[in-house]
Structure 1
């Protein structure tokens, strides 16, 4: 079976440590972030949840949030802008195009009609109120 070696191999790390600043990795050498790289903080209060998610460099139009019961799904479209200009030589390019998604489950259902989302300085803030559960009622039997 053919084994592929990643670009971030032990050999590359060895030379990076010997001469930091002189070693340049190949273009587009880093993979897309894993879903765990959308880092989140979740806080709960009596009325609901507040979620903060790191999405640096992602435009508001490229963020997608969906709610299904108590499951929250985040999706971010990341775009790389390669520009070639005459006389420039690109030594390293780490920006890329792709999608990153992450889902997580909360302890109680969310009231999707009252949920709010806001992005500011690369941080997505979700305000997710808990769905009110009506208490059981005893019916009168006629």
Structure 2
């Protein structure tokens, strides 16, 4: 069903545009390549009463292979999933798991305190927590002279 395949691809790119994500999409001829880009990591952005939380799925990625940067209100998560060693004589009948790099950029809410970020990797999920900034009042008292 070519229509559905094209529709899925179109929706994938459109959703990435809407979320302002910068992702590396796997090449279509990945089966012939020894290194391929990962499928974009899934993430959740959660608002709590006093903080924002970001959960990023990074299965099979070691802590030392993850980089997190925050710049101009954007959170960037980069990771490298290294290919496992293949033993001589192994014949892969089917290969879905991808190895290579991933990069996601997500806009943070304005109230997220970028200086207070805490990060932890647990069972292949990167947990980031940003405290909320105190709300500044947009109302100003004007003194009449």
TM-score (norm 1): 0.64
Give structure 1 stretches of 5+ with no counterpart.
1-5, 9-25
Structure with the higher helix share, 1 or 2: 2
SS of equivalent to 1:100: strand
Paired position in structure 1 for 2:46: 43
Partner of 1:134: 136
Gap regions ≥5 residues in structure 2: 1-27
Give secondary structure in 1 for the equivalent of 2:68: strand
2:23 is aligned to none
Give the CA RMSD over aligned residues: 2.9
Partner of 1:108: 110
Aligned counterparts of 2:51 and 2:72: Cα–Cα separation in 1 = 13
Map Cα deviations across residues 101-130 of structure 1 (whole Å, 9 max, x no partner). Answer: 001113324322211000010011111122
> Structure 1 residues 78 and 30 mapped into 2: Cα distance closer, same or farther (>3 Å)?
closer
Does 2:77 match 1:74? yes
Partner of 2:100: 98
